[in-house]
A and B are shown apart, each in its own frame.
Chain A
Amino acid sequence: MSYRYLLRKTLIYMAILALALWVLIPIFLIGISAFTPRQELYLWPKTIIPSHFSLETMRFFLGAHGVVRSLLNSVQVALLTLVFTLAVGAPAGYAVARFFFRGREAFRLGILITRMFPTALLAVPLATTFIRWGLYDTLVGVALVHTAMALPFAVIITTGIFMGVPKDLEEAAMTLGCSRLRAFVQVALPLALPGLAAAAMFTFVISWNEVFAAAILTVRNRTLPAHIITTIQASPLDFRFAGGFFMILPALLFMFLIRRYLFHMWGGATAER
């Protein structure tokens, strides 16, 4: 019994460890690549661990034409997307979580269906529309499309968050003479704040990572992924590795910060209510 138990435990741990290595090693390798001296990237035979670590590759990347600018553009677009998405989506999430109204299920189904739209179907026609509206090649334009892409997530996630805030508390506050607005601001909002912050970071990552729409809707005001993909054929390997490494940094940081909410959010995304 105990022998079999031990064997089973060992096998489970070995499988888990193998999967963990599978997840971690590629991230580790791009980290190495980003800090390998440029010349050594092109040597044959190439050693796996470079002779020394150098900031040369990263410096080359950050010094390359258009990179810093696209980096700042990316941050601005992601912040705009975050504000737009929460401003538009959170009220809807609150409504679905708190009220039973006609069309509630139809609305939820509609939100799901929007998730099926290919990005190309949004971005290509919007490129022509945005030229007419003066939004083509602007950061606001890209942020608006990113908002559209993040909105279904935001509505679903905020619904889950507000469902987690007991309705009784708000009702108690209203019985004690608070208006609905005040009950929301003073009672529900503080309790929902950590969840909303997690949703905000998730939205930031969606925008930070998006490449198709950003590449199609801009010419000069590129975001970082758009800049990298539009120059990818012409750029040297070290530039691409440094770019890949740079793109995953903030995403990994945010994902770490919101790790406890991930399952809450995606659990809520598929759970029946």
Chain B
Amino acid sequence: MIERLRKLLGTDTLLPYWLLLPTLAFIGVFFLMPLFRAIGLAFYGDSGFTLDYFKQMISDVRFIDALKFTFLFAITIVPLQVITALAMALLLNTGVRGSRFFLYLFAIPLGISDLAAGLIWLSIFTHRGFLNSILYALGVIEKPIHYLSYQNVGFTFLSVVAAEHWRATAIVMVILVAGLQMISKDYLEAAEVLGARGWKKIWYVILPLLKPSLQSALIIRTIFALQTFAVVLALAGQITPVLAGEAYFWQFLYRNSHVASAYAVLLMAISIAMTWVYLRYLRPRREAIRG
């Protein structure tokens, strides 16, 4: 039986390819095919090639806002997360007692979905939420403030930033902690011998050595920040529209796969462009986009 199986599978040189086959088939059907189909849906209508769906997308009243907020979210959230995560990783790296416990504690939001995070922060920012209750208890306000409303777009935006910052900092921290653990003790000892301590050691020794991890964290988080969707819907509804949300509405509410695909293709193009920018100007090693 085993012999027959071996004959069927060929020798050991062929074995790895057989093992890869299911994954490759899956990627073909569930990544490549949807990619081509999305391009097809976005550019081809009943009468052949057309740019009508893209025109429809761009002329939509919410398009400019969606584009604006998507970029604003990405450029606000990503630096915030990297700085917070870096602080977490460096604090725990000082090796104080209980740092392992706090490491796990900081990683908790890793298991929380964007929708749940949105609802959690809704309980804080909503009209009768905890923020208003606390401000009232402190005597700062008399009447509850409507944070999440069209009159308060700026604050609505910041509440989404707060929720996403809270939820997705954990993943950046884990990547940075893993990166810190890979830094050879020899470098750090050499730095101490040469007199670099405290901030100097962090700035001149640790951060440059951490660069590959920082770059991968930046790329991963930027790509996902561009896809921000459920947090926005839970907290802001349509006050601050985003591109992924528009794709959802066009598909789910308006039943127009063509325009929804146009949004999806646009998102993909922006993701590729941003990754290219990071690769071009930060020059990470190829390994950096893993994860």
Q: Could you list which residues of chain A lie within 8 angstroms of chain B, going by C-beta atoms?
A: 9, 12-13, 15-16, 19-20, 22-24, 26-27, 29-30, 33, 41-48, 87-89, 91-92, 94-96, 98-99, 101, 104, 107, 109-129, 144-145, 147-148, 151, 155-156, 179-181, 205, 208-212, 215-216, 225, 228-230, 232-233, 237, 240-241, 243-244, 247-248, 251-252, 254-256, 259, 262-263, 266-267, 269-272
Further 13 A-B residue pairs, CB within 8 A, beyond A9-B96, A20-B105, A255-B110 = A23-B109, A24-B108, A29-B120, A44-B144, A87-B22, A115-B220, A115-B223, A116-B268, A116-B275, A124-B261, A208-B113, A247-B116, A252-B108
Q: Indicate if the CB atoms of A262 and B174 lie closer than 8 Å.
A: yes
Q: Which residue of chain A is the closest to B163 with respect to CB atoms? A: A26
The interface residues of chain A, by DSSP majority, are classed as helix
Q: Is the interface of B mostly helix, strand, loop or mixed?
A: helix
The answer to whether A272 and B115 touch across the interface, beta carbons within 8 angstroms, is: no
CB within 8 A of B291: which of A27, A99, A209, A269?
Answer: A269
Which residues of B181-224 have CB atoms within 8 Å of chain A's CB atoms?
A: 181-182, 212-213, 216, 220, 223
A266 pairs with B41, CB closer than 8 A:
no
Q: Smallest Cβ distance from A14 to chain B, in angstroms?
A: 10
**Bound CA span A241–B116, Å:** 9
User: What are the 9 closest A-B residue pairs judged by CB atoms, nearest first?
Assistant: A244-B119, A209-B113, A267-B178, A255-B111, A148-B30, A251-B111, A95-B19, A125-B37, A120-B264
A128-B257, A216-B248 known; A270+B179 contact, CB < 8 A: yes
Min CB–CB distance B92 → chain A (angstroms): 7
Docked CA distance A132–B286 (Å): 39
Q: Cβ of B16: which chain A residues have Cβ within 8 Å of it? A: 95-96, 98-99, 101, 104
Most buried by B among A30, A107, A181: A30
The answer to whether B23 and A92 touch across the interface, beta carbons within 8 angstroms, is: yes
Asked if B237 and A233 make an inter-chain contact with CB atoms under 8 angstroms apart, the answer reads: yes
How many angstroms between the C-alpha atoms of A5 and B165 in the bound complex? 32
* CB of A63 to closest CB in B, whole Å: 19
**B252 contacts the other chain (Cβ, under 8 Å)?**
yes
Residues of B within 8 A of A119 (CB): 227, 244
Name B272's closest neighbour in chain A (CB-CB): A116
Residues of B within 8 A of A91 (CB): 19-20, 22-23
Q: How far is the CB of B101 from chain A (nearest CB, A)?
A: 9
Give the contacting residue for B34; candidates A107, A113, A122, A233; CB below 8 A: A122
Number of interface residues of B (CB under 8 A): 108
Using an 8 Å CB-CB cutoff, how does the interface string of B78-109 with A read, 1 for contact, 0 for none?
Answer: 00000010011001101010010011111111
Q: What residues of B have a CB within 8 angstroms of the CB of A262 in the complex?
A: 107, 110, 174
Q: Which single residue of chain A is at the shortest CB-CB distance from B182?
A: A271
- Choose one: A118, A248, A259, A272; the contact of B264 (CB below 8 Å): A118
Asked whether, in the complex, the Cβ of A29 is within 8 Å of the Cβ of B41, the reply is no
Contact pick for B265, options A43, A121, A147, CB 8 Å: A121
Bound form: Cα–Cα A108–B273 in Å: 21
Residue on B nearest A219 in the bound complex, by CB: B252
| Minimum Cβ distance to chain B for residue A156 (Å) | 7
Does B58 reach chain A (CB closer than 8 Å)?
no
Tell me if B149 is interfacial: C-beta within 8 Å of chain A.
no
Docked-complex contact B212 and A125, CB < 8 angstroms: no
- In the complex, the chain B residue whose C-beta lies closest to that of A251 is B111
Asked whether A26 lies within 8 Å of B121 as measured between CB atoms, the reply is: yes
Question: Are B107 and A92 in touch, CB under 8 angstroms?
Answer: no
20 A-B contact pairs sorted by A residue (CB < 8 Å)? A16-B96, A27-B108, A41-B128, A45-B137, A101-B13, A104-B16, A118-B227, A118-B268, A122-B34, A124-B41, A125-B41, A151-B27, A180-B15, A233-B237, A247-B115, A248-B113, A255-B110, A262-B110, A266-B171, A269-B291
